[in-house]
Amino acid sequence: MADIEMSINLSKTGRRLLKFFYFAFLLIVSISNYSCQQVQSKNNDIESKVTSLLSKMTLEEKIGQMTQIDPIAMSADQINKAVRNGNYGSFLNVSGVEKINALQKLAMEESRLKIPLIIGRDVIHGYRTIFPIPLAMASTWNPEIVKKAFRISSIEASSQGIKWTFAPMIDITWDPRWGRIAEGCGEDPYLASAFAKAMVEGIQGEQLTDPKAVAACAKHFVGYGFAEGGRDYNTTYISEPMLRNVVLKPFKAAKDAGALTFMSAFNDLNGVPTSGNEFTLRQVLRKEWKYDGMVVSDWGSIAEMISHGYCADEKEAALKAITAGVDMEMSGTTYLKNLKTLINEGKVDLAMIDEAVKNILTLKFKLGLFENPYVNPEAEKQMLSPEFLDHARIVARQSTVMLKNDPNTLPLSARISSVAVIGPLADAPRDQLGTWVFDGKAENSVTPLTAIKAVLGNPKVNFAAGLKYSRDKSKSGFAEAIAAAKKSQAILFFAGEEWILSGEGQSRGEINLPGVQEELIEALSKTGKPLIVVVMAGRPLAIGKVVEKSNALLYAWHGGSMAGPALADLIFGKESPSGKLPVTFVKGSGQIPFYYYHNMTGRPANAKSWTPIDSIPVINSQASLGYKSFHLDYGFTPLFPFGYGLSYTTFKYSDLKLSSTEMSKNGNLTVKASILNAGNVDADEIVQLYIRDRVGSITRPVKELKGFKRIHLKSRETVGVTFELPASSLEFFNGKGNVIEPGEFDVWIGPNSDEGLHGEFAIKN
């Protein structure tokens, strides 16, 4: 009887729960529908306002909206007159609350149609609080902290009236000679796509009309990172499968994340400059991706189509750019001077102009500039807040990659009797900020020397720069540096590049340490003291000799304002290094391009097939070296593989499990593994998932990243990591269309692209 009563009660409880969940479901659906209706209503409202405003505009005012100008060569009177007349829709490189508010006041009160300006500026990895360069941020493999970094950048920039930044740069590149590798996220489309999404969301925030929101700009569309020879602005030739399977992926992620603007690139792509490329701008971006945002040219890139030999003059350049779909011209006047004539001649349809202006006005309405064009002077008080600086320290710490650590070299004890701090980057506050820093200030940098002294106290630190700057070829400082090393218990050498050696236009043919840094490192290694090298650079350098001579090596990139304290945290063991390489490190320039997801080739090399050049017998046969794909001097492996990075502990991978050995084209595979922290230090590990499609209708890469997770493990703790691998993630473009092909696949879970637990599965028809 009691059992029956319990059954009845449970039944009543069950019915109540069902009713509760049913009504909760209805409420959620109702809220969701209401939210969608609100968004649609807002979009319709903006469209209505844009249409109304567009109908009132003269042709000259429309073309003005399509022109962005850097007013550096203009007088105040010229600027004011241009704003009153509606000659320009946007300014770049204007900063300061008072100046920008004054410009907006002219636009909103003295121009005919009261259209606000949009102020753009390159805020690439920080405004006043400078974060590590984007390539370094990619080394964190932590999109969430990078998203917050970009949110902070927008908060600081918007406090000065900047509402549009030309970031993120999400060009894939395989060439570390290219200076702008510093601005991107490395070589891998999956990793770069994850950061593209995070960066766009960080820049734009949750609410576009928030005064702290800034419009993101996905650049450079497209193929810029494949410049021949790593020479900036150069020609690019990219097959359509490579374009769609690799280069376009991060841009699609940025579009899906809601990037308000895109930027056409400087380069020509397969013979057609990208600022006049209808295939990329009209076919891919607009037609295939349904992108409804605004497209801006890169600086002067429309007129540069003349230099490319694609256009005879500025008039033809304007015609090809507007036809291709460039809405706004950055820092040029080809539109301003030629569009009206082209319309009068019937070569450009007015509908094209209206389409471009509609995209520009929509951007301004979405950002709330019509309602709130002015900056609150109080907002700038957040600049360089302790919270912002603390986050910059966290990002710099997680972006540092440990590449070598002989037993017991690192971390150093904070009770060490003395250390020698040596090297051109030890106390270089401007250099550690890196490239593309217009508004950060060297005086806000905390250098490694300052941070180490704060930990140990001045008496324990023996400082001798050894070299005045990274390119210094004078050995006059060697003696002082060696003397400092000899009287110290350990040596900390801060090597690298000055900031000016990387970034736009800063390509290098040889990518070793500049100057005589390697010679000083070799001299210091002969003292017999533990030698810890910290490399602070804007690109992956060829540092094989440095690796050999050092006992430990940290790759810290250009780490921003708080690079010094972040490095001190790692050097003295407050935190364990956790960064992983977002690019392959080559042995030398002759090995470029080298990227982990290369194709196999018909004659793949292996350890048995390669004989080091110095081991080749003087007398040998023609076929003695095996006819395989390698360099006689470099071999077939990189200096360090993609995804590589060490820790102060050891992680052990075990127990790989697949939910099945087969799945359909609509299926999903679960891949699991156990990770053990086998050491005595609590630390983070970045677990990586790779696959290989063994046979395809076009040759497929030897490995492809398909997932990653950053996990924290306490000493001796084991954590299970699970990845979901949908069959859709195995789709690729084969030259005819996107396909998921049946066949056999390999899968790995591991600590980098070279190692890992291996499994197999198949996709069936």
Check residue 6 and give its pLDDT.
39
Confidence (pLDDT) at 163: 98
**Is 746 known to be catalytic?**
no
In the structure, what pLDDT confidence band is assigned to residue 13 with cuts at 50, 70 and 90?
Answer: low
C-alpha triplet 365, 371, 372: angle, nearest 5°? 105
The CATH class, in words, for 385-571 is alpha beta
Query: Left, alpha or beta for 743 (phi > 0: left; psi -120 to 50: alpha)?
Result: left
Rounded-to-integer distance, Cα 5 and Cα 2, Å: 5
Q: What is the pLDDT of residues 669-722, one digit of tens each?
A: 999 999 999 999 999 999 999 999 999 999 999 999 999 999 999 999 999 999
Beta-bridge mates of residue 262: 218, 295
Query: What are the beta bridge partners of residue 709?
Result: 687
Three-state SS string across 654-691, please? EEEEECCCEEECCCEEEEEEEEEECCCCCEEEEEEEEE
Question: Secondary structure of 22-91 in the HEC alphabet?
Answer: HHHHHHHHHHHHHHHHHHHHHHHHHHHHHHHHHHHCCHHHHHHHCEEECHHHCCHHHHHHHHHHCCCCEE
Among 370, 418, 509, 474, CA closest to 48: 370
- Burial zone of 23 (CB within 10 Å; 0-12 exposed, 13-18 middle, 19+ buried): exposed
Q: Is 599 exposed, middle or buried (0-12, 13-18, 19+ CB in 10 A)?
A: exposed
Residues shown for the chain = 765
Percent of the chain clearing pLDDT 90 (strictly above): 90
Put residue 22 in one of left, alpha, beta given phi > 0 → left and psi -120 to 50 → alpha. alpha
**Alpha-carbon gap, residue 433 to 182, rounded angstroms:** 12
Rounded Cα distance between 500 and 599, Å, is: 35
CA distances in angstroms from 253 to 191, 246, 634, 730, listed in the order given? 11, 12, 36, 16
Query: For the segment 416-449, what is each residue's pLDDT rounded down to a tens digit?
Result: 999 999 999 999 999 999 999 999 999 999 999 9
Q: What confidence tens digit (pLDDT) does each residue in 372-404 have?
A: 999 999 999 999 999 999 999 999 999 999 999
Architecture of the domain defined by 651-764: Sandwich (2.60)
The pLDDT assigned to 15 comes to 61
Complete DSSP assignment for 461-503 = EEEE-SSSSTT----TTHHHHHHHHHTSSEEEEEEE--GGGSS
Q: What backbone torsions phi and psi does residue 202 show, to the nearest 5 degrees? A: -70, -45
What's the pLDDT band for 158 if we cut at 50, 70, 90? very high
Q: Name the band, by pLDDT with cuts 50, 70 and 90, for residue 310.
A: very high
Q: How far apart are CA 157 and CA 127, in angstroms?
A: 6
Confidence at 624, pLDDT banded by 50, 70, 90: confident
Radius of gyration of the chain from its Cα atoms, rounded to whole angstroms: 28
What's the CA gap between 213 and 203, in Å, rounded? 7
At residue 4 the predicted structure's pLDDT band, cuts being 50, 70 and 90, is: very low
Sign of CA dihedral 199, 169, 383, 120: negative
pLDDT (mean) for 470-486: 98
Classify 289 as helix, strand or coil.
Answer: coil
Angle at 675 between CA 670 and CA 676, to 5 degrees: 160
CA 91/CA 460 separation, integer angstroms: 51
* Per-residue pLDDT at 38: 60
- Predicted pLDDT at 268: 97
Neighbours of 227 (CB within 10 A): 24
Q: CA-CA distance, 351 to 372, in Å (whole number)?
A: 29
Nearest of 602, 734, 697, 726 to residue 243 by alpha carbon: 734
614 has a pLDDT exceeding 80:
yes
Confidence of residue 25 (pLDDT cuts 50, 70, 90): low
Query: Is pLDDT at 3 greater than 60 in this prediction?
Result: no
* Active-site choice (298, 327, 439, 569): 298
Backbone angles phi, psi at 165, to 5 degrees: -120, 145
Reported as a single tens digit per residue, the pLDDT across 252-306 is 999 999 999 999 999 999 999 999 999 999 999 999 999 999 999 999 999 999 9
pLDDT > 80? residue 123? yes
| Residue for token pair 């807040």 | 385
Mean pLDDT, range 604-631, rounded to an integer: 85
Q: Which residues pair with 422 in a beta bridge?
A: 464, 493
Contact 688, 708 (CB under 8 A): yes
Domain boundaries, the chain: 385-571, 651-764
Rounded-to-integer distance, Cα 637 and Cα 20, Å: 61
> Which pTM value belongs to this model?
0.94
Distance separating alpha carbons of residues 14 and 63, to the nearest angstrom = 66
pLDDT digits (tens, 9 = 90+) for 504-559: 999 999 999 999 999 999 999 999 999 999 999 999 999 999 999 999 999 999 99
Per-residue pLDDT tens over the stretch 547-597: 999 999 999 999 999 999 999 999 999 999 999 999 999 999 999 999 999
Instruction: Please enumerate in sequence order all residues whose Cβ is within 8 A of that of 456, keeping only pairs 6 or more positions apart, or say none.
Output: 414, 416, 419
Residue corresponding to tokens 């508010």? 101
Note the Cα 181 to chain centre separation in Å: 9
Taking CA atoms, 14 is separated from 3, 22, 27, 52, 380, in Å, by 16, 12, 20, 56, 56
Provide the pairing of β-strand 329-330 with 67-69: parallel
Q: Give the tens place of pLDDT for each residue, 338-356.
A: 999 999 999 999 999 999 9
Count of beta carbons in the 10 Å neighbourhood of residue 407 = 6
- Using a 10 angstrom Cβ sphere, with 0-12 exposed, 13-18 middle and 19 or more buried, the burial of residue 642 is buried
**pLDDT value at 5 more than 70:** no
Output the pLDDT for position 611: 81
Q: Contact 529/490 with Cβ under 8 angstroms?
A: yes
User: Which sign does the torsion angle of CA 525, 527, 531, 535 carry?
Assistant: negative
Residue 24 banded pLDDT, cuts 50, 70, 90: low
| DSSP letter for each residue of 351-409 | HHHHHHHHHHHHHHHHTTTTT--SPPGGGGGGTT-HHHHHHHHHHHHHH-EEEEE-TT-
Quick: pLDDT tens for 29-80: 565 565 556 656 677 899 999 999 999 999 999 999 999 999 998 999 999 9
